[in-house]
Chain A
Amino acid sequence: MPDGRGKYRRLIGIQLRISLLTAMQYRWDFLAQGLMQLLWMALSVMPLYIAYKARAVAQGSSLTATDIGGWGFYPATMVFATFYLLKAALDGAINPSLIGVVDHIRKGTLDFVLLKPADAQFLVSTAKFELWHVIDGLAAAVLVGVASQRFSHSGAPVGAFSASAILASLLLLLCGALLLYAVWLLVVCAAFYVVRIDNLSYLFTSVFDFARWPRGVFRGALHVVFTYVLPLVVMTSFPVDALLGRLRPQEALWALVLTGLLLLLSRWTFRRALANYTSASS
């Protein structure tokens, strides 16, 4: 009987279809949530704009010529939009299904997952997608596009927006999403040991909030922490640096290595947690 790749591809298709059907059940919620996210995004871009404006006035320069931490207004906006793009992935694809694990443990239905002849991590990671986040994801992508376009007309460095730059930035964006997934999975594994972790998803997003600013905003120790410990800079600033053709090769390498390491670590931790759940180890 055919097994392996085909089966998992089919499963993802079915899970997506199920999420879509579920979303259609709550059609108005779908739109309302999407719109709320958009409004929120518009609201949060204000401080960025006002900060640049205020600095521009204080310096006596134009908006586009002002920089904060060595980052101009448009590149900063690109990082901001990348943040919201990743946030859409987090809220739409990563958070809902992994939160389901916590729910399963509490209700005792994780057993059903373990009884199935399919990889448990795959099953729980694809269980639920909140598809309305496609709306704000698209909006964020559009914002990146617009800011890029504006920037390319006013002071973009040589090598920015080249084909290889775009490819590199997409790859790093993927890394960012995978990093989010891996870290989030690690957090969720805590639910196996400490059953009450409702607030952890809020904590996660609260820490992730720092990623909305470009790396230049963080100096000294903070920059080190956000690059090597909590890789927020890797997630949102690296893809933009790559797009602008100014990411250094060792940084790109670090992103790839870190992603691989965290994916392996999170899978290992998840399996350990499952083993503990079935008291394989005791």
Chain B
Amino acid sequence: MAGLKAYPTLLRIGFAEAIAYRAELLVWMLTTTMPLVSMALWSSAAAGQRLGPEQMGQAELVGYFTLTLLVRLITSSWVLWQLTEEIRSGTLAQRLLRPIHPLVSYTAEQLAALPLRGAIVLPLALGLLYFFARGQITSDPWLWLCFVLALPGAWAINFLSMALIGLLAFYVDSTLGLFYAWIGVYTLMSGYMVPMSLMPAWMAKLAALLPFRYMLETPVRMLLGWPLVGGAKDTLTGRAEAFWSLGIEYGYVVVLLVGVALLWRAGLRRYAAFGG
């Protein structure tokens, strides 16, 4: 594929840009307060009690939302804003002129920021995990492996779904509504604000069929050593379930990849037809 040779350079440039915009990056990361807001509520709600079918106490809930915060910080991307803006303003044309596939260059930009984000998140992660979630993390090395493998998949699903919505800017004036709808469903179905075991059963079952949980709930529960909720394979437990989930997760990655590729091609044709 054209431009893959240039990928390391793209990454290097992206990294330099991330450094240049370090203040913005830091602020942007600080805006992810929702898991902490949820943590405040749930740790009070669980004071002296154990909640839900999973019997979650304060320690469990604090551990859950700490991991939610960390996973979210590592796997989110802002490609939606970039894509929409560039399609709208026409600067996408500049990207198209380069010999590298624009989507590839977007991934380079997002990924290049990861080292810097990691540098900010890692000490935070270690600190939070040590003080708040020490007792919650699983000691099973296989589950650790699954967790590490699940993270890139989560990042990919995030990136690709954001790209998918962003590409709709080829067709509709404002993708903002779509984005909010997406975020709304994400909030309900990924365990972001409420652990899925406390949601209505039908919602948990629905969530099991959708990709949202793999962006957040799956890696989090893997590292906590908790089973997935409403899993299709109710008979699988522990490691088996974790590996099975990985499979489904990457299945979704492939599906989204195909979807994005198709939409890109169709949208580009339309973009060229309308003169951008």
Contact = CB atoms under 8 A, between A and B. Distances in A.
Contacts of A48: 41
Interface of B: 23-24, 27-28, 30-34, 36-38, 40-42, 44-47, 49-52, 177, 180, 184, 187-188, 193-194, 198-199
10 contacts: A43-B188, A46-B188, A51-B41, A68-B47, A199-B31, A202-B31, A203-B27, A209-B37, A217-B41, A222-B40
Contacts of A197: 27
Given A40-B180, A202-B28, A59 B38 contact: no
A69 B199 contact: no
Nearest to A59: B49
**A interface majority secondary structure:** helix
A198 to B, nearest CB: 7
Contacts of B44: 68-69, 213, 216-217, 219
For chain A, the bracket of interface size reads 35 or more
Nearest to A200: B27
B184 A43 contact: yes
B33 to A, nearest CB: 4
Nearest to A201: B31
Interface in A210-231: 210, 212-213, 216-219, 222
A173 to B, nearest CB: 22
- Majority SS at the chain B contact face: helix
A54 B37 contact: no
Contacts of A222: 40
B38 A199 contact: no
Contact of B51 (A46, A58, A202, A209): A58
Which of A55, A57, A197 lies at the interface centre, i.e. has the most chain B CB atoms within 10 A of its CB?
A55
Most buried by A among B24, B38, B40, B45: B45
B33 A198 contact: no
A50 B50 contact: no
B24 A39 contact: no
Given A199-B28, A203-B31, A210 B193 contact: no
A54 B52 contact: yes
Contacts of A206: 30-34
A7 interface: no
A114 interface: no
A196 interface: yes
